[in-house]
Chains A and B, each alone.
Chain A
Amino acid sequence: MKLIYILSILFAFLCCNLISSKDILADNKYSEIEVPDGGTIIGNVKYMGELAAVGLNLYRGWELSDTSKLNSEKLVFSKVNNGLKNAVVSLKDITQGKKTIIPPVHPIIDQQNNNFIPHTIAIVSGTTVDFLNGDEQMHNIHTRSARNQPFNLGTTYKQRISKTFDYPEIIKLTCDLHKNAYAWIVVLDHPYFDTTDRNGYFEICDIPPGTYTFQVWHEELGNLEKEVTVRPKETTTIEFVYSQN
């Protein structure tokens, strides 16, 4: 009798597991394979919009362009090569590829001087992010996600809060006490992505050969897409240019 009882509980538990994992699978079409001859893509994301010239062209005329975007972290680009920082590059339609490694060392978003550092991170689903508070004052971390469980937690100095993001989603992170501070967490369901560095460079490796749609996402400038063919064990260079504002 006891055995049946335990078995039924076990069965019920399994059922639950099956159902919930099915939910996840329905979203995650990515499957892992060995990629022995993967190709690499390196590239650069550039911003060539109106604001790019600010600070260089002294003879633009009396009308100064709106520089409010420059003062925040909304739009950060290199003055040297116009490389755009904080853009997330990813393969859009990849269904199979290299093994997803969930980083054992948690990526960190720190709050320093009323700002989130880094401003944008891209992670693969299942990754746990640690939120720190490096300021000697109260902050809160407030996400507005729908699929990942949103949260709004108060943090004090040197507090560490860990949160796991299970579903692909672009999540805005804010601190309600400091309205200017916010950050972006881009959760993807495959490992083929990168965040551009301060000169706009990125690199994605071990891509199974084939033709893919490449996508760039930037909080202010939106999306760009480009079709790229990856050849085995070769490095392809591509460039994305945001020309609008």
Chain B
Amino acid sequence: MKKFGIGLCLSAMLFTSVAWAAEQPPKKETPPDLYEGTPDWYRAVYKDNVGMKEGSGPFKDYFKPQMLDMYWQPNRHYEPMKNLDHSIFIEKERRDLCVTCHEEATPGVVRDWRSSGHKNPKSTPYLSARTAEIEKRTNRILNEVHCFDCHADTKKKQIRMPTGEVCGECHRPQFDDFLREREVGRPNHIQSWEANTIVPWYAEAARRGYLYGQHGCDLCHSGAEKCDVCHTRHKFSAAEGRQPEACITCHMGPDHPDAESYGESKHGVIYHKEEEHFDFNRPLSEVRPGKDYRTPTCQFCHMYEKHGRFIHNPVMKGIWRMGTIPPKNLEYTSSLKDYPYGIKIIGDKIDIYSEENVAKRSYWLEVCAKCHSDRFADTYLKSLDEFMFQAHTLADRAQKIVEDLIADGYLYPSAADRDPYPLSDGIEKQLSPAFLGEPIYNAFKTLKGKFPVVGPILGVYGMFLQQQDNPSNIENMYNRLWFWYKLQGYKGTAHVQQDVSWWWGQAPMMMEFTKIQSEAARLRREGRIEKVSLTK
């Protein structure tokens, strides 16, 4: 009997130790953080939730957010609804009730979710395998990913709007891939909110009563770091994210006519013609060109990283970076030679033939080589480079004309007689010399924004805010030349759309150039006449 007792004790100990071993948590992963490695002010500005009380970015005190930013930028601005306090459902973790009520309240959402991989994460062998990976990584059993898992903030006992970090808890590899967009800097998706909130004209426009005029800005630029921009709610389909249509709601229009140039190119036309034969359920790395895809999609080229690997972000291989940044490989006559004028938050000029870019070009050729010969593809991309060199040269000549006009004092109305640069008072107060670069900062400090700013990148303000006589006609012309027509020509050429390349790009660029020339001549003439009449 005694022996039996000891045995029982022993076995109990054994059992508990086994159980303990089984329950041991695996190595702890750091939780996903979209703002990892960013400076403190950045976190405070973009991340800390302030509800609708103040804006975002360095100029947060100058404007209140748009109402919808609560949804577009939930990390910063989301406020749970006040009408019905949902905390009781979260406290008691009543998962069933979410669906019971929302099945009727918002049936589309629930049906969408029902048809998603989240509802049945083990419905196909492929999905099961992927789910198993996630299960292993997160150490939990996933038979259903429920409303509750993403929308319940169990710490605050509130409903939350999921952000990239919430998705990243399970989809960590994709999240980490996406995070790498930061390596190449803007323009990218993960930092797109900066395009609104770091720039002074957004806050200035808000201050002047145009906050809701910038609705269109926020629709793309806030929340582009959220996963549901491409994998729309609540199906969050990977296949959907692989289709070109996932990109085109934002990637269109005068500054980046990607939808138009790809859509009307031979690539795009074949895609539209044979869309139903495309197998979007296949992961990009397993796509067999010619069989699964007869023509490349946005994703197939842009998300190809290198050596047969795909990466879950589309910016890593970019060389010309949207076409705004001037290349190093040209001799400039205008002040473009000093680009980026000491500003620290914008990338330096691009060396098209740097080691890194030459490598990137070879990765492009790897993609092209799925169908095209290496020589053809290389020739095509080289001619794209030539197009861009010529376009930047033309822009440089145009900028030179405008700058000379300013230097000779013929800008009319002069910078002293018109509204200063947007939010000049705020720039001086909120931005530091380290941030803006010493010379630019000093210019703002001493001249209080009463000076003309032309060309990339700060000169682009005219595209977003027109103030009293600022920018003037000739400056607007130049803005159109470099920010619209140059970029349109770039996309037309890069995406092989002849009409966009010429009639939206090169042709209007040249027309705008001669307009600038004649406008400059007119201003000089008028200025001279004025001077003569004054001296008399």
Q: Do chains A and B touch in the complex (CB under 8 A)?
A: no
Spell out A's residues near B (CB within 8 Å): none
